[in-house]
Structure formats: structure tokens, C-alpha cells
Amino acid sequence: MDTFFEPNNLLGQFSSSISQDEWLAGIDLYRENRISKVDRFEHLICGTIHTIEGKCEVRIKLHPSGRMVQWVECTCARNRKKGIYCSHIAALFFHIHQERDDFADTSGSSLPQISRADDSNTQSMVHGLFQQGRGNITKIDFRGSQLVVYFEVKAGQISQIELDVDKQPAFLESLASIERKLLPTASQDMKVLDDSSSQGIYFYLDDEQKLVGRKVFAIKRGPSKGISTEIENFHEKLSMHAGELREDGWFQLFPAEALGSWVGQKYFAIPKVGYFPINDSFSAWSELASTFKVGDQNAIELISNQFQTYSKNGKIFLHKSLANLQIVDDLVLSEIKVLQENDGWFYLDPHYTTNGKSVGMLDLLNRYAKSKTPFLKSDKMWIRVPDLMLNGKWSVDSSKKCLKVSNLELIKLKQSLGNPERITGKELLLRKLKESTEFNTPSNLPCIAHTQLKLREYQKVGYEWLWWLYDKGLHGLLADDMGLGKTHQAMAVMSAIQSQQKTSGPMFLCICPTTVLDHWMDKIESFAPNLKAIKYYGPKREQLVRNFPQSNTIVTTYGVLLRDLALLERYEWQVVILDEAHFVKNNKTATYRAACGLKGRLRLCLSGTPMENRLSELKNIFDFIVPDYLGTDREFNKNFVNPIEGQKNADKELELRRLINPLKMRRTKEQVLNDLPEKVEDTRHCWLSNEQVALYKEVIASQAGPLLDSLKKDQTPIPYLHVFTVLQLLKQICNHPALIRKTTNWRDGESGKFELFRSLLSEALESNHKIVIYSQYLQMIEIIQNYLKELKVGHVVLTGKSQKRGDIVKKFQTDPEVKVFVGSLLAGGLGIDLTAASVVIHYDRWWNASKENQATDRVHRIGQKNFTQVIKLVSRGTLEEKIDRMIAEKASLFNRFLERDEEAFKNLSREDLINLLQ
Ligand SMILES: [Zn+2]
């Protein structure tokens, strides 16, 4: 048997391996002197046990280190055949323990140690020892919390048994009164006292006014129990909270940690008092730390709910300072005194009111700065620090007598106050405050005559607003409807700033999606060349950095921002523009974080999407333009998202609008209709994808080249049909490589134009506009149709093959779910009415401008008051650009041929065709 025992645990280990019957029988054998010839040879201990059946030999082999038992064996059948630890082995162990401690170091081992959990075992063991007359108790004493029972096993041989707190009550109950007099005085009256104790948690405030919970045992205190606080050394620890409790009656509290090992699994004990059952229905109680601090936020909640969070863990005891505590959760900003204005800063003394009592914000801030707890104690009140104070870094003037705020903070305070009449101060100060917090035509608006910008009335208002933001150190979101010229307004404010700046070098950073990069460059070139823009894009962009000092404006993409953040965040930009700001609506993205790293005096977002319906996106955009302004996500959800989206709380919606409106401007087409022309045409440029470039070059080389050669020979007749075919092929490549592959899936190949189309479509759909899309290729129409199906966007298609044209048109006109009309120019261009739409996209170009115009006019009916945005898509560096120019130059020529493209085409000269094919 390779069993190892630690010598100093020799008997303890062994007694737990042996059955109780064998153990008791072993003790009997020892008591009856049935052991002889006990001897030791090196590491082997032998002994002979004489039993009624005969004698057997027991051998105990110690490990050579002398510290462990290696094996034990007995010659009896029970051990040899069945491997049972027999009473003979027990007897020898017992003998060594009692009489031969020179054989093995058994000090510190106690006898017998029975598994602690098994109380009945102990009890019967005790009964076995005492009631069967196997020993006489000579002494009972406490060693710490252990009750030590000394007994005489046989004459002159004293053994001892240790009982922990859980076993003590049963043992003491079992003692005959005669032995009770042996009990030490401390335990003479000890018995189990039911129904007078409880586990609980005691809450009090520590020196730093933090809420502390402490696990306690509570003893009902009454004259009959005579509990004194003088017990042992508990006095200091225990008396401090006694008698200061809210619980009915008097309880004496004992911190669980102070009781230490007097706490068992079933009982805890107070010497001289008694044993108290531990209530196991409070199972969560035992898992709590003996002392714990409750976090600030949780403390308030805990007090608000009367500590019920912990009531399942036992009785709750409160220090008197916590009883009758009142939580003031509804401080209302009631007055703002304006004391001074200096250098754009305002010095204020705002006041809150609760229950008719006024509390200064400064007082709260000063105290909060020290405590950092979200509640502040004041007499019987705990004042919850208002969210407004927690969100934001409020600075107190060095005199500590007033709050020093920026314009942005001023707006926030004003919105929180609600009623502007509660702002008090000298008239001049109030006027200045109004100028800084409410947009009005600024008196110092710079002239922008040095640009080519011709702003419409509403655009002028937008420009003035942007200047006001810049001038007052504020930031904004310009969310005008698609087509209303957000770019123009942005260029206006940049030009205004540029006209005032004496220094050179880049001041403006425009970040936009790749698809509108060229659009920005085109607009700046046409309307504000003074902005000296650099298109910072492409693999060789690094070389452009050296041109930065000569430029004003850097136009780049979100992709480049992400890669070149280290460069771009080095500048202190006058204006940082995020165009199509919905690209940064998700604050989890790296792009979002990169954008937040940029420093700009005016941070401006442009977006055509009305974001009131997507509060979290709005929040993210505001977190970029004015960090902290709307609080943390958690606060924002609690204050606005849940009440507005969940409970349709109109007050909260109004509150949010008041907070946001000074920093946001949005006009819809309908709102500015009188200011708009009936139709705005825009050509939007894109680039060919690599795949398109390869296809395009191949057609030029294999087909256009030979044609050019023959065209250049003057005498040959012009092969119009052949040229037309080649040009058609090139136009198809510009549209989408899928047209060459003869498929109708937009994923078959990459198209720069289709990417631009997708972003325009999504912008228009987001703004809830109906859209008409024209293409001259049926296959392209199918590709678009498949894409719309994939997006689950309601649409209709009208081509030459369509039946029931009237129904299709009616559906588009009347069904609010049908957002898109896709048609071929010939079929959709005449005799129908598409006035429900306000955006027209010509996916590809027609030679004949008046044909295009006719199609456009389906949407825009003369005399009808609506606004139509017409977008024509043109691929850069391709014949589409040349066609675009030619259409403009030869409009009158083409317009005579209304019906077929080929006919118009035949009016082109040899030079025109050569130009197109080159
Ligand atoms: Zn045996």
C-alpha cells in the first residue's frame, strides 16, 4: 500500500481513512493493552496485536526522510485480502501517538480528527468515548475558538479532542451536568440561543463620506441576555456602533471579521453568551466581503431604494447619520447671474433651487471638486449633483467666486435654464450674451467678393451662421437637403476666413468620400480658386506635402485621413470639414477616432441626412464637433434616447432640440423653394476602376487604333456605323464592366461610376427623395434594378418593352413605398409625368441634349413649383468627357435630331470622330 501520510498529520489523516467502527475498536485494543512488541528498525515500525481471533502483525514503513509514512500493512485477512484499514493498524497508530512519540513526530496532530462537515460522526465519536466508558473527561478548555476536551484513555494516558464552533453545541448538549462544572467559566452558560440573532449588513459613512457596508452578526440585546460589551477583546471593535441602529429594538452588532474563527458554517459563538444559528437562507451573505464600499452611483441608488438591494442578504442596519436621509434628485437651474465678460469668456453665478431653497452651482462645484462623489451631503439632504455639472469640464474662476464659461458652455447653461428671463445682469452684458449664444446676422461678416460664389438667399444665411460659429468659437452641423449647396456655403466661410488671415499655409481641411473628392476640387476651382486647394490623394500623395505651405486648403478622403492621421493632426486647422458626415456616424470605427484627433477652430460636419430620427448617429457627430456637449453615451441614452424613442416624450425632444439647434442648421428643398431655381444641373465626375482602365485601353488599342488610321485618310468614306459601335463599347465600359461580361449583377466587376451612383442614390434615399434614373442600356437598367432589389428599395422600371406604361408611372407617382423610377431614355422620356421625383440621375449620356432635357422635364414640369436636381455622371479621362463637351458646344446641331442617337451622331465631322477616338 503506497499511502503517504505526513507524520505530523499522521493520526488525523489516518483516522479519516479508517471507518469509525475500526477506529473505536482500535482504541479499545489499545486501552485493553492488546499491543505488544512495538519496536522500530530504521524506518520500519512493527507491533503485534492480540485479538480474540488470534494475533496479527502490523508494520508501518516510514519514508527514509522520516517525514512521511510510506505504507502500512497488517497480517489479518481484512487488510491483506480486502485492503481495509483494520482496527489493528489503528491500535498501533494510537499506541505510537500516545506512548512512542520518539518513533514519529506526531506533535500537532490531534486525535481523533473526524471530517469537519460530519457532525453526527463527531457526536457518536464523543458518545463512543464517553458513554461507552472508554475514557474520562479530565478537563475542558478553549484554545482560541476551539473547545479542547482532555480525557484519560487508560490510566495515565491523557488524550485530547478539539471541537470547532459548529461541533461545540452538540457536544455541550450531550454533556451530563456532572461534567459541565469542568467547563471554563467563559463557556459555562453557553447554549444555543435561537431566534435572538441575525446576520445583517451595517451601513455607515466613512470619514470621506463614502458609503461602507459591513457584514455583521446582530444579537438582540435585552436585560435577560445580559450581553456586555466587555466580552474578551471585542470591546473596542464592537462597541463603536452599538445602540445607533434604526432596527426596532436593541441589537448589538458584531462585525463578522472581528469574530474570526468564532464563526462556523452553522453557528457563530459569543463567549459567555451562547451559540447562535447561522441563517442559511441568506446564502448570498457569505459571499460578500466582510467590508465593502459602495460606488458613488450605486450608493445613491442604494439609498434611494431603502437599501433593498441588500435586504435579501440579511437585516439592514443603518448608522443614525443615514437614517431619515433625504435625497434631492431634482435640482433645477433657476437663475444665472452674469457678472462680467472678458475676452470672449463669461463670468457667471448660476443657482439651483430645490424645495424653495437656493443652492449655488459654484458651491456645489467646489465641493464636488473635493469629494468627486455624485452626491453631496448637506444637513439632512444628499444632493445629487446635476448631470449638467457632471458633463463637461466647468472651470471656476481663480477667485472661486464665479464660473468662467465659453460660449458653448453658455449655450448649454442657457438651454438648461429654459426661460431666458432668468438670466440677470447689466444690459450690456445681457446683449453680449445674446450675441454669443443666439445666431443673428453678424456685424463683422467679411466680404467674399474675391470669390466667384453667387450665394442664394438661404445660402447667405448659412454662410452667416457658419461665420457666427467660427467667430464665437463654436462648431456645427450643416444638414441642408441634398442639392442645396452645402459645399458653396462651406467655401464661403473658408474664403471669409482666408481673407482675414495674414499667414500662409494650409488652414482648411476637407475630408470627404472618394466619390466626391473631384466634386470638391471642381467646385473650389470654379467658385473659390482663392482657396488654393490641393487634392491630397493617391499613392504619390507624399510628394504633395511639400506644396502644403503654398496652399490654403487640403482636400482628402476618409481613407487617407486614417492612414495619414499623424501628418494631418499636426496642424491647427482653422476649419475641419467632414463631408457626408454619416461616414463617421459610427463611433466604433477607426475613421471616427481618427477624425476626433483633428484640431480645428471650426469643426464642421456636412450631411444631407436628417438625423433627428437616429439619435445615436446624431450623438456621434456631435461628439466629434463638440466633445462632451451631450454627455456620455450612457447619460445621453438615459436622458434622451430612451425617453424620446421609447416613451415618445415630447418635452425631452424639445429639450434636445434646444440643446442642438444653435449648432445645427438644416433646410429642406420645400422650405427654400422660393429661393431656388426650378432646376439645378450638376455634372458629377468619377474615375474608371483599374479593371475598367484595362478594358478601355484594350478596346482603344485593338479597335479604335485601326479606325483612327483609316479616318485620318481623307479620301475614304467615314465608317460611321463602325465608329458608333466602338464608341458604344467604350461607353459601356465606362458604365460597368458587367456590360462587357454580359451579366446583370453589379458585383461582376468594379465600376467607379457605379460607386458614385450608389453614394448619390443613398444620399437621395436618406433624404427621402424620389429619384428617377435614366440609362440608354437595357442591361444597365437591369443591373440597377437588381441592386435596388438587393437594397429592398421600392422601384418601378419602364423600358420600350414595358406593358401598361400608365400603371407603372401611376405607381411611382402615388405609392409612397416606390422610391425609384428606372427607365430608358426613349421609353421614359416622353408623354409621362414623373413629378413625384425631385432628383434625376442620368447614368450615361446621350448625344442629344434636348432628348436628355425632355426626359428631365418629365420630372420638372414647367410652371409647377418644385425643385429638381439633375445629376449627370461622367467618367474622367474617357470619351464621356469629350461627349460632355461636344454636347455643350454643339447643342443646336444635335437638338435638331430628336429621335435617334445614330442620326445625331452622323452629323459629327471627321475631326470630331478622330477626337473622340483618341
Ligand atoms: Zn489487521
Residue 581: the pLDDT is 79
| Dist. CA 68 → ligand 1 center (Å) | 21
pLDDT tens digits, residue range 43-78?
788 999 998 888 899 998 877 766 567 788 899 988
pLDDT tops 90 at residue 492? yes
Poorest-confidence range of 378-382, 505-509, 691-695? Answer: 378-382
Which of 284-298, 322-336, 842-856, 890-904 has the weakest average pLDDT? 890-904
Highest mean pLDDT (candidates 56-70, 443-457, 898-912): 443-457
- Domain 457-665: which CATH class? alpha beta
Listed by start position, the domains of the chain span 1-112, 114-186, 197-318, 327-437, 457-665, 682-917
Higher pLDDT, 2 or 319: 319
Percent with pLDDT over 70 in the chain = 83
When mean pLDDT is compared across 13-27, 183-197, 268-282, the lowest value belongs to 183-197
Distance 102 CA to ligand 1 centre (A): 24
Q: How far is the CA of 235 from the centre of ligand 1 (A)?
A: 54
Neighbours of ion ligand 1 (CB under 5 A): 56, 74, 76, 79, 86, 88
In the reported structure, the alpha carbon of residue 393 is separated from the centroid of ligand 1 by a whole-number distance in angstroms of 83
pLDDT at 882: 86
User: Hey, what's the cell of 914?
Assistant: 478622330
Tens of pLDDT along 575-592? 999 998 777 888 888 889
- Separation of alpha carbons 449 and 239, rounded Å: 85
pLDDT at residue 721, as a whole number = 82
In this prediction, residue 570 carries a pLDDT of: 92
Cα–ligand 1 centroid distance for 121 (angstroms): 23
> For 688-703, what is the mean pLDDT?
92
Separation of CA 99 and ligand 1 centre (Å): 20
Which of 200, 166, 197 has its CA nearest to residue 288? 200
Q: How long is the chain?
A: 918
Residue 525: its pLDDT value, please?
93
Strands 771-775 and 211-220: unpaired
Nearest to 485 by CA among 637, 669, 635: 669
Residue 425 makes CB contacts below 8 A (sequence gap 6+) with 337, 338, 339, 433
What does the pLDDT look like over 300-354, one tens digit per residue? 778 777 787 887 788 777 776 676 667 777 788 889 999 988 888 899 999 988 8
State mean pLDDT over 627-634: 86
CA 33 to chain centre: 77
pLDDT on residue 110: 37
pLDDT band of residue 239 (cuts 50, 70, 90) is very low
pLDDT given at position 895? 59
Average pLDDT over residues 701-710: 85
The model's confidence at residue 866, banded by pLDDT at 50, 70 and 90, is: confident
272-286, 471-485, 657-671, 888-902: least confidently modelled range: 888-902
For ligand 1, the distance from its centroid to the CA atom of residue 892, given in whole angstroms, is 124
Cell 438667399, residue located? 457
Find the mean pLDDT for residues 767-777: 89
Considering 376-385, 394-403, 461-470, 766-775, the range whose residues carry the highest mean pLDDT is 461-470
Instruction: For residue 88, report the distance from its CA to the centre of ligand 1, in Å.
Output: 5
If DSSP codes are grouped into helix, strand and coil, which group holds residue 715? coil
Q: What's the CA gap between 445 and 443, in Å, rounded?
A: 6
- Under the phi-then-psi rule, with left for phi > 0, alpha for psi from -120 to 50, and beta for the rest, what region is 677? beta
Q: How far is the CA of 97 from the centre of ligand 1 (A)?
A: 18
Higher pLDDT pick, 195 / 725: 725
Contacts of 257 (CB under 8 A, 6+ apart): 215, 290, 291
User: 210 alpha carbon to ligand 1 midpoint, in Å?
Assistant: 66
Q: How far apart are the first and last CA of the chain?
A: 100
At 301 the pLDDT is 77
- Give pLDDT, residue 470: 94
Question: What is the CA(118)–ligand 1 centre distance, in A?
Answer: 26
CATH of span 682-917: 3.40.50.300
Out of 179-188, 375-384, 787-796, which region has the weakest mean confidence (pLDDT)?
179-188
Return the pLDDT at 383. 82
- pLDDT at residue 221 greater than cutoff 80: no
Å from CA of 14 to ligand 1 middle: 14
Residue 245 has pLDDT above 60, yes or no: no
Q: Please provide the average confidence, as pLDDT, over all residues in the chain.
A: 80
Q: Average the pLDDT over 384-391 and give the result.
A: 78
Q: By percentage, how much of the chain surpasses pLDDT 90?
A: 26
For ligand 1, the distance from its centroid to the CA atom of residue 26, given in whole angstroms, is 10
184-188, 314-318, 478-482: least confidently modelled range: 184-188
Nine-digit cell at 262? 468564532
State the pLDDT at residue 118. Answer: 40
Mean pLDDT, residues 743-765 taken together? 92
CA of 27 to the centre of ligand 1 (A): 14
CA of 79 to the centre of ligand 1 (A): 6
Cα 39 to ligand 1 centre (Å): 17
| pLDDT surpasses 60 at 647 | yes
Confidence tier at 520 by pLDDT (50, 70, 90): very high
Give dist(CA 49, CA 873) in Å, integer.
109
Mean pLDDT calculated for residue range 687-704: 91
What's the pLDDT score for residue 123? 44
Higher pLDDT, 761 or 396: 761
Q: Fold identical between 457-665 and 682-917?
A: yes
Residue 568 has a pLDDT of 94
Ligand 1 centroid – CA 56 distance (Å) = 6
Judge contact between 295 and 287, C-beta under 8 A. no
User: Which of 419, 417, 210 has the alpha carbon at shortest distance from 296?
Assistant: 210
Band (pLDDT 50/70/90 cuts) for residue 191 is confident
Average pLDDT rounded to a whole number, residues 120-137: 52
Ligand 1: centre distance to CA 160 (Å): 25
Residue 67 confidence (pLDDT): 59
Lowest mean pLDDT, pick from 214-218, 282-286, 668-672, 880-884: 282-286
pLDDT at 627 over 80: yes
Residue spans of beta strands (DSSP E) within 295-384: 315-318, 326-328, 332-342, 345-354, 357-360, 375-378, 381-384
